[in-house]
Amino acid sequence: MDVTLAPPRDRRKAMTQPAAATAPVLDVRNLAVTYYTDSGRARALDDVSFTLKAGEKLGMVGESGSGKSTLALAMMRMIKPPGRIEGGQVIIAGADLMALDAEGMRQARLSRIAYIPQGAMNSLNPVMRIGAQMVDAVKSHLPGESRAAIEARCKRALQSVDLDVGVYRMYAHELSGGMKQRVCIAIGILLDPHVVIADEPTSALDVVTQRQVMETIDNVQKAINAAVILIGHDMGLMAQFVDKVAVMYAGRLVEVSTVREMFTDPKHPYSQALIESLPSLDNKGVFRGIPGLAPSLLRLPGGCAFHPRCGKAMAVCSTIRPEQCLLAGGRGVTCHLYDGDA
């Protein structure tokens, strides 16, 4: 596929400097989100921290309700009441999104950070042509740009995700599910953002279309040198398309490692249970699950939230909450088993 989107001038300059390439383009520090409900206070994100370099792809995995989508919405500052961002920083290319005013954050969306929503079927306006929606997005950020330049930018974005320019004049109902998802990707990369968050971009798609969508994300990510966060449950897709994997449980990151390390030598007992639950050719017909249920965020157990389901739990696990330990190679594991290895 020939991607014709050109990176902005400052992005090209950064690509030519080796020192800039090693600095993280995304730095999330102690991000916390709480939902205040009639039943009590639910901590959906609990001091989540991680970094990502330009051009890296991070897969965010975990059971439903672990906080993956909440993390994405918090980074975009799109948490709605009764949810509240309690603290933390989201630093992209040196700017803290949490410190911006409302207008500054509106400008940062699409230009610094873009969000590809989970339900592409419901994300496009059914009574507006695709081109009109794309033009609106560009005009709100580049009011001085000419109509011809904006249309050219939008059509290049559609071509970069393997869509015909004729889609520019079409309505959402005239597109297939995979085409709608690629339109959402095209809108997300209109302004060459530094960070792209894809929230389960392949849900409700057949396996052939899933691969096409993932290859599209992979290609446009390389074209604009963005950092990508891929949220999902499909560990097979993660193994093929991401560089690092972050495992979430009950609002916390319990392990962050390279994709090879995660699939060959997972460290956290929850990560091990996730990998062991995958079907394999060695145990055909045998399915292994994780005992018990994920805890309610309103009533988390004391100590480590995973200890009631953990086969390696120790006495300390039920009383003291573990902190992240950095192992050899920079792997982060939040577990008492590795306290002595920090």
Please report the DSSP string for 112-154 in residue order.
TEEEE-S-GGGTS-TTS-HHHHHHHHHHTT-TTS-HHHHHHHH
Whether residue 88 contacts residue 108, with contact meaning beta carbons closer than 8 Å, is answered with no
**pLDDT tens digits for 72-102?**
999 999 999 999 999 999 999 899 999 999 9
Domain ranges of the chain: 9-257, 259-341
pLDDT of residue 237: 82
Whether the full predicted model's pTM is greater than 0.95, yes or no, is no
> In this predicted model, what pLDDT tens digit does every residue of 246-267 receive, in sequence order?
999 999 999 999 999 999 999 9
Structure tokens at 283: 């145990």
Which range among 4-18, 22-36, 151-165, 296-310 shows the weakest confidence by mean pLDDT?
4-18
From the CA atom positions of the chain, what is the Rg in Å?
21
- pLDDT given at position 271: 93
Q: How far apart are the first and last CA of the chain?
A: 45
Q: What is the DSSP string of 191-209?
A: T--SEEEEESTTTT--HHH
**110-124, 182-196, 243-257: range with lowest mean pLDDT:** 110-124
Domain 9-257 is of which CATH architecture?
Answer: 3-Layer(aba) Sandwich (3.40)
